[in-house]
Amino acid sequence: MTPEDLERVLREAADEIEGEDGRWQLRLDDVALACMVDVHYDRMRLIAPIAELDEVSDDVRDACLEANFHTTLDARYATSDGVLYAAFIHPLSSLDAELAESALQQVANLVETFGTTFSSGALVFGLPPRGHGGAVN
């Protein structure tokens, strides 16, 4: 995918969008997101701020890490410069429109479900039933 292709996908999916040259700010439902591309390193990054990290309890941080393993699918909780984000990072060249649209929804879902289900979608990968050990048969 080229930056121009990605911009088309973003413009079609977003409720609002501004920016150019591989850097966009957009809104999907009530979630503010940013998307950046670096053609030289063949990467794209889609992020949405969630909270100041110093306002997040240790238990909630642990829940984010566990969610990264079980319920975040392709998006992840991540931190940078004292902020907790929902993020999706991928090689730009192998990204396609379907995955880009899915990434937008997954990142927005992580913001919306933060503090409750910590889920980017309906799939729960490898999560054992509650009350059972950590091993998955």
In a domain, 118, yes or no: no
Tens digits of per-residue pLDDT, 107-137? 999 999 999 999 998 565 565 544 444 444 3
Domain count, the chain: 1
Tens digits of per-residue pLDDT, 43-98? 999 999 999 999 999 999 999 999 999 999 999 999 999 999 999 999 999 999 99
Tens digits of per-residue pLDDT, 2-27? 999 999 999 999 999 999 999 999 99
Structural domain including 26 reads: 3-113
The structure tokens listed for 7 are 């911009």
Q: How far apart are CA 74 and CA 91, in angstroms?
A: 13
Q: Which amino acid is at 106?
A: Q
Looking at residue 125, its pLDDT comes to 55
Q: How far apart are CA 30 and CA 71, in angstroms?
A: 21
SS3 98: helix
CATH of the domain at 73: 3.30.1460.10
End-to-end Cα distance, the chain:
38
In a domain, 65, yes or no: yes
